[in-house]
Amino acid sequence: MSNKKTGRIYFSLVLLAGCAAAPVETVSDPVIAGTRYRGAPIELGAIKMQLALREGAVAENVRLTLGVLASGDTARVVLSRAQLRYGGKAAELATRHATPGTAMGCADEAGALLEPDYWFNATVTTKSWSCVTLAFLLPGRKAGDALELRVEPLNVEGELVHMLPVTFMPRAPE
């Protein structure tokens, strides 16, 4: 195993342990063109997408869970790149993990470590959400820095699907 891969695995374990041990976690919902999607799927033609951003006590570490469900038949979905931005800077993708999905959505747990070649790359069905969790480093991020996600067009069955920029708003404590 290469030093780079070993370092990434070690870092992901430290990051996940830090997130799990954090006393307070903030969940933020995606907002697109003024519409807030609190656990509701974002309709993108042949697919639906769910996004949930989780922040621990440290503003410099966040986890983004991304889930995709087919609207009709199965669909091959590839998201090569996207960019999470804050305070004029780009966040650094640290790790990508498989995340269990159900008929209702994505679990809040990380599974197997995946290579960071793609943000998302799977054949999705109508029965269960296909999910990944991406961990990011945001060096120098201040508590008030807003987060914005800019997604390159998704490849859905060979067709490009465009998505407007996404900002994230923290949920009120329940």
pLDDT in tens, 29-70: 999 999 999 989 999 999 999 999 998 777 789 999 999 999
- Per residue in 82-118, pLDDT (tens digit) is 999 999 999 999 999 999 999 999 998 889 999 988 9
- Give dist(CA 55, CA 111) in Å, integer: 18
Helix (H, G, I), strand (E, B) or coil at 41: coil
Gap between the Cα atoms of 51 and 76, Å rounded: 19
Is the predicted pLDDT of residue 17 greater than 80, yes or no? Answer: no
Q: What structural domains does the chain harbor? A: 3-170 (2.60.40)
Q: DSSP per residue over 93-157, as a string? A: EEEEEEE-B-SS-B-SS--SEE-TT-SEEEEE-SSS-EEEEEEEE-TT--TT--EEEEEPPEEET
Please tell me whether residue 11 adopts helix, strand or coil conformation: helix
**pTM score, two decimals?**
0.82
Q: What is the pLDDT of residue 109?
A: 86
At 143, the pLDDT band (50, 70, 90 cuts) reads confident
C-alpha distances in Å from residue 120, one per residue of 2, 68, 131, 152: 24, 9, 8, 12
Is the separation of the CB atoms in 107 and 99 below 8 Å?
A: yes
Residue-wise pLDDT for 146-160, tens only, equals: 999 999 999 999 999
